Structure 1
């Protein structure tokens, strides 16, 4: 039985599918696309602190700003932290956007095939098959230490709290 809860898109109700993850939970594994043929999973980032920034679509204003902000912060966090941006955009669209935006410190991964990340992390939006804006911070043992799943898709996350949560693990 799938778990569902409500959120909003411009004030209109949307349904999030999957578990409501909390600090202390073990992070679910994932398989996301780096490009059309290659995939990446949680184990590819073993031993690192992971800040996972989830955006509905890289081609929207808030998602663009969110990804650019974390790209700027990445160099300040050092080599023991990886920032991963997950969206349901096609990998080619992600690569095009990164090239145009000059984003080179954030790892962009695509949840387009099966939305398995969204469903495992409880951020899959049933009505539009995208992932809800969210931030997850995982320690080096893949325990979740910080979670923010926005209630309104068009709002910005709390960047400072997410970055602070990652810094506490370094």
Structure 2
């Protein structure tokens, strides 16, 4: 079990934490129009899942901007999913205002299925911890990062390196 802190204080992650080599678990979350979206909707594609606590924080904003830019470099070879427990309306507002067009933003607020299935749900806050999960075309997890301090950014370089290997 990875230890994660929020403002230096330990938090409890619920659910089973995943690791590289695991079969990716199905989950359903809501898109910006409140339509349910399943991970299996992206079957046969490489998927990068950018996980963050709240779109209305500076670190989460930076994370989404960086992955939006990276997504443009991979074109249709990789689907970039950005997931939080924010309401779909907040995600839509942010993406519209900030010009985020290359990410599929998903809200896990209703069922917490992603957070629970992947071990990112913070019990005390009902938010998702920060991290990255990369899943290959065969739905095998190839990379996982649970960022140890939620106020820090993920390791973009490590994630991008794995993506480049998967799409060569």
How far does residue 43 in structure 1 lie from its aligned partner after superposition?
Answer: 1.1
Note closer, same or farther for the CA distance 1:77–1:20 as it changes in structure 2 (3 Å cut). Answer: same
Unaligned runs of 5+ in 2: none
RMSD after superposition: 1.1
* Contact in 2 for aligned 1:5/1:15 (Cα 8 Å): no
Give runs of ≥4 in structure 1 deviating > 3 Å: none
How far does residue 5 in structure 1 lie from its aligned partner after superposition?
Answer: 5.7
Unaligned runs of 5+ in 1: none
Question: For the residues of structure 2 that align with 1:90 and 1:166, how far apart are their CA atoms?
Answer: 28
User: TM-score w.r.t. structure 2 length?
Assistant: 0.96
Question: For the residues of structure 2 that align with 1:43 and 1:115, how far apart are their CA atoms?
Answer: 17
* Local SS of the residue matching 2:24: coil
Question: For the residues of structure 1 that align with 2:33 and 2:158, how far apart are their CA atoms?
Answer: 33
* Local SS of the residue matching 1:32: strand
Q: Which residue of 2 aligns with 1:15?
A: 12
How far does residue 114 in structure 1 lie from its aligned partner after superposition?
Answer: 1.9
| Structure 2 residue 138 is matched with structure 1 residue 141 | yes
User: TM-score w.r.t. structure 1 length?
Assistant: 0.95
